[in-house]
């Protein structure tokens, strides 16, 4: 799964990416310093793995799950028409599953703003307008093609897709994002997915603030919260410059001392990764034993056989049943054997909806 970091030039995208990833994107005080998208595979922080590792002491260690983060170069007004390096960057956004939209919410005369002043709402609207214009272009092209199919052959699917596209065209023409359009059923949702619209992707707004505002935010952050209150979107506050300083510290103890001194319980990068993971509708099930403790990614709403297939396709094909222990029971009782003895191990079939944090063992036969 892949999240793309977007925003205007010089809002802190590459600084944030550098905090998140061992890859070092060039970070400089001028536009377009990130020409090619930088990709980092980011470990998803999960305190449950630490506890399980301490309990199981696995030979091969603890293996967390990951999410991919892409640093996409700064967009500017006119990107949808190819201004700046627009077409290339819009194509990079299209390949992501979710958008992390970084907004500059700090004043600093030493950091140039591409539009000459700090205004996160204006910046947000510039980016969204370019994405909407590109989506509108996509919709217009698809409507022309689909209208012919719907008229010529009386194709029911083409007619349904056309209706969905016309609703999107209406919303985009009014300056609204595609994600604001309500769909009535799974057929309409399937038609929408085939369009790959940029403004239909889930979005998280990251307010990049100064160190003094890292805990409580500031007036710029409140403006952003007010502007997006009717959107199905997350708002996260962090100080990218401070996070960069934390990332350079060598030990966990040093990082914790820094966080405590700044009044923070957890780093902004950790919070961002967790929120991005949830934004993609992802959850984690766990496997635990003396060989390894491991986190596995699944989509909310998946059943046991689908989750078995995450480990190996044969597990899904030959699925018989799943043995499930709740994480809280596993920790409280001290392991699988104690849970089994206490009747806390459940045996589940093909219709079991897997829950976040389930510790699972699959039985299969191929």
**What is the mean predicted confidence (pLDDT) over 110-120?**
78
Name the residue with tokens 């008229």: 151
Whole-model pTM: value is 0.81
Contact (Cβ atoms closer than 8 angstroms) between residue 103 and residue 11 = yes
Label residue 315 by pLDDT band (50, 70, 90).
Answer: very high
**Closest alpha carbon to 15 in 336, 272, 301:** 272
205 membership: H or E segment, kind and range: strand 203-208
> What is the three-class DSSP state of 108?
coil
Q: Provide the sign of the torsion angle of the four alpha carbons 309, 95, 122, 171, taken in this order.
A: negative
Q: Comparing 32 with 262, which gets the higher pLDDT?
A: 262
**What is the mean predicted confidence (pLDDT) over 140-144?**
90
Spatial distance between the Cα atoms of 207 and 223, rounded to a whole number of angstroms? 10
Q: What is the DSSP string of 235-300?
A: EEEE-HHHHHHHHH-SSHHHHHHHHHHTT-SS-HHHHHHHHHHHHTTEEEEEEESSS-EEEEEEET
Residue 34, pLDDT above cutoff 50: no
Q: Comparing 42 with 169, which gets the higher pLDDT?
A: 169
pLDDT at 37 (0 to 100): 59
**Closest alpha carbon to 281 in 1, 42, 66:** 1
Strand pairing of 38-43 and 234-238? unpaired
Spatial distance between the Cα atoms of 161 and 165, rounded to a whole number of angstroms? 6
Distances (CA, A) of 294 to 44, 100, 270: 12, 27, 19
Residue 143, pLDDT above cutoff 80: yes
Q: Provide the sign of the torsion angle of the four alpha carbons 306, 308, 310, 312, taken in this order.
A: negative
Give the model confidence (pLDDT) of 232-269 as tens digits: 788 999 998 888 888 787 777 888 888 888 888 888 88
**What is the mean predicted confidence (pLDDT) over 108-117?**
75
Question: 169: which residues sit within 8 A by CB, 6+ positions away?
Answer: 136, 139, 140, 143
Question: 300: which residues sit within 8 A by CB, 6+ positions away?
Answer: 281, 282, 283, 356
**What is the mean predicted confidence (pLDDT) over 59-80?**
77
DSSP annotation of 303 reads B
Label residue 109 by pLDDT band (50, 70, 90).
Answer: confident
Residue 207, pLDDT above cutoff 80: yes
Residue-averaged pLDDT of the chain? 86
Q: What is the DSSP string of 51-85?
A: HHHHHH--SS-EE--EEEEEEPPPP-TTGGGT-TT
pLDDT at 31 (0 to 100): 42
**What is the mean predicted confidence (pLDDT) over 58-86?**
73
* Angle subtended at Cα 296 by Cα 16 and Cα 341, rounded to the nearest 5 degrees: 135
Contact (Cβ atoms closer than 8 angstroms) between residue 354 and residue 307 = yes
Name the residue with tokens 């392991």: 335
pLDDT at 25 (0 to 100): 44
Question: 151: which residues sit within 8 A by CB, 6+ positions away?
Answer: none
Lowest-confidence pick of 144-148, 160-164, 239-243: 144-148
Residue 33, pLDDT above cutoff 50: no
Residue 77, pLDDT above cutoff 70: no
pLDDT at 361 (0 to 100): 96
pLDDT at 323 (0 to 100): 97
**Closest alpha carbon to 360 in 274, 263, 289, 286:** 286
Q: What's the token pair of residue 45?
A: 């922080």
Name the residue with tokens 């994107």: 25
Residue 41, pLDDT above cutoff 90: no
Contact (Cβ atoms closer than 8 angstroms) between residue 346 and residue 304 = no
Residue 175, pLDDT above cutoff 50: yes
**What is the mean predicted confidence (pLDDT) over 4-11?**
86
**What is the mean predicted confidence (pLDDT) over 344-364?**
96
């Amino acid at each position: 799964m892949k999240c793309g970091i977007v925003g205007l030039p010089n809002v802190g995208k590459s600084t944030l990416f550098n905090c998140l990833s061992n890859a070092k994107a060039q970070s400089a005080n001028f536009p377009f310093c990130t020409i090619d998208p930088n990709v980092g595979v980011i470990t998803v922080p999960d305190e449950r793995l630490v506890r399980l590792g301490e309990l199981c002491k696995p030979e091969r260690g603890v293996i967390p799950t990951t999410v991919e983060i892409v640093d996409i170069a700064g967009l500017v007004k006119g990107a949808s028409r190819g201004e700046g390096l627009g077409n290339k960057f819009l194509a990079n956004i299209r390949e992501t599953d979710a958008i992390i939209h970084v907004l500059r919410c700090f004043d600093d005369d030493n950091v140039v703003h591409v539009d000459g002043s700090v205004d996160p709402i204006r910046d947000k609207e510039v980016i969204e307008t370019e994405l909407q214009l590109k989506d509108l272009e996509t919709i217009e092209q698809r409507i022309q093609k689909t209208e012919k199919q719907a008229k010529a052959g009386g194709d029911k699917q083409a007619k349904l897709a056309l209706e969905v596209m016309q609703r999107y065209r209406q919303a985009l023409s009014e300056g609204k994002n595609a994600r604001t359009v309500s769909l009535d059923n799974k057929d309409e949702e399937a038609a929408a997915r085939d369009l790959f619209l940029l403004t239909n992707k889930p979005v998280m707004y990251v307010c990049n603030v100064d160190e003094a505002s890292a805990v409580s935010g500031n007036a710029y952050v409140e403006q952003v919260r007010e502007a997006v209150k009717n959107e199905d979107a997350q708002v996260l506050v962090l100080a990218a410059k401070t996070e960069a300083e934390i990332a350079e510290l060598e030990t966990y103890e040093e990082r914790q001392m820094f966080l405590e001194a700044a009044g923070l319980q957890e780093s902004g990068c950790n919070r961002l990764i967790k929120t991005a993971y949830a934004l993609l509708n992802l959850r984690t099930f766990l496997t635990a034993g003396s060989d390894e403790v491991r986190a596995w990614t699944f989509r909310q709403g998946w059943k046991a056989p689908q989750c078995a297939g995450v480990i190996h396709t044969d597990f899904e094909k030959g699925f018989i049943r799943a043995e499930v222990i709740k994480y809280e029971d596993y920790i409280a009782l001290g392991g699988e054997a104690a849970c089994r003895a206490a009747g806390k191990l459940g045996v589940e079939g093909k219709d079991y909806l897997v829950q976040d944090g389930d510790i699972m063992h699959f039985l299969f036969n191929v």
